[in-house]
């Protein structure tokens, strides 16, 4: 065992006493963020793709994930990189490291990490979802669209693919296609009892507002506000509707 690995193991064993070491699920950055709030994003769990057989890699991954949840990004990055050093095929650690880098606005580095994850397992939808969000932030809408299509190919019952594509059509003002996709996402989110459905209500409310159907817009935006009480866009549009 080289000195770097030995040091990492010693640190991990010490911190084992401090942190819970239960296995954490894989998390992906939801693309349900509104355009003015891309850095405040819900983190729903997915099942892990491949738990590492390396005990120390799993310990580092669990610690990095917990630190990421606490938004302690620099510390999270260190642990997730240790997990990858100990298990270079640990796709779940790559996926979480990509989230940490994206939150620090290190988008090029995050892109590289997700591409590495995809190269290890191109049936894992998590890096496709997260990379699509990065491309959306960068304005690479065609690239983002292709990735969401891939998500649907991998799992047609995951609402994220439909929702993500819907947001892209919304951005280019193609409201017919956006609404069709949002309706599909809404059904799937409701079937999962997912609170993320409020993001669908947000976009549907904006579509109805932009097309002059103000009663429908108000209904959906009031529903969206229950899950996004601090969303300034919702407050502004609701105020405009009520003051008409």
Task: Give the mean model confidence (pLDDT) for residues 144-173.
Answer: 97
Considering the domain architecture, whether residues 86 and 10 belong to the same structural domain is answered as yes
* Residue 21 falls inside a structural domain: yes
Return the pLDDT at 47: 80
- Domain of 101 in residue numbering reads as 1-145
Mean pLDDT score, 34-42: 39
> Residue 108 domain-assigned?
yes
Last residue of a domain, one of 118, 145, 172: 145
Mean pLDDT calculated for residue range 35-55: 65
Is 151 among the domain residues? no
Same domain, 129 and 211: no
Number of domains composing the chain: 2
Last residue of a domain, one of 112, 145, 178: 145
What's the pLDDT at 94? 97
Whether 13 is in a domain gets the answer yes
Confidence of residue 29 (pLDDT cuts 50, 70, 90): low
What CATH number did the domain enclosing 137 receive?
1.25.40.10
Claim to verify: residue 127 and residue 176 sit in the same structural domain = no
What HEC string does the chain produce?
Answer: CCHHHHHHHHHHHHHHCCCCCCCCCEECCCCCCCCCCCCCCCCCEECCCCCCCCHHHHHHHHHHHHHHHCCCHHHHHHHHHHHHHHCCCCHHHHHHHHHHHHHCCCHHHHHHHHHHHHHHCCCCHHHHHHHHHHHHHCCCHHHHHHHHHHHHHHCCCCHHHHHHHHHHHHHCCCHHHHHHHHHHHHHHHHHCCCCCHHHHHHHHHHHHHHCCCHHHHHHHHHHHHHHCCCCHHHHHHHHHHHCC
124 plus 211 within the same structural domain: no
């Amino acid at each position: 065992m080289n000195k770097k690995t030995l040091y990492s193991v010693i640190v991990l064993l010490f911190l084992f006493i401090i942190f819970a070491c239960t296995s954490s699920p894989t998390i992906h950055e939801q693309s349900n963020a509104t355009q003015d709030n891309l850095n405040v994003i819900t983190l729903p769990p997915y099942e892990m793709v491949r738990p590492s057989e390396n005990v120390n890699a799993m310990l580092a991954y669990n610690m990095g994930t917990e630190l990421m949840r606490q938004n302690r990004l620099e510390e999270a990055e260190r642990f997730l990189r240790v997990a990858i050093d100990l298990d270079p095929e640990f796709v779940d650690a790559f996926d979480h490291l990509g989230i940490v880098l994206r939150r620090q606005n290190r988008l090029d580095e995050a892109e590289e990490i997700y591409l590495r994850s995809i190269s290890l397992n191109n049936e894992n939808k998590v890096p496709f979802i997260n990379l699509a969000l990065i491309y959306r932030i960068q304005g690479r809408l065609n690239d983002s669209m292709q990735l969401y299509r891939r998500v649907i190919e991998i799992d047609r019952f995951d609402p994220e693919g439909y929702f993500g594509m819907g947001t892209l059509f919304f951005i280019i003002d193609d409201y017919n296609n956006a609404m069709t996709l949002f309706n599909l996402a809404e059904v799937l989110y409701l079937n999962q009892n997912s609170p993320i459905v409020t993001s669908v209500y947000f976009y549907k409310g904006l579509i109805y507002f932009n097309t002059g159907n103000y009663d429908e817009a108000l209904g959906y935006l009031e529903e969206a506000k229950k899950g996004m009480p601090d969303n300034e866009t919702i407050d502004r549009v609701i105020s405009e509707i009520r003051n008409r």
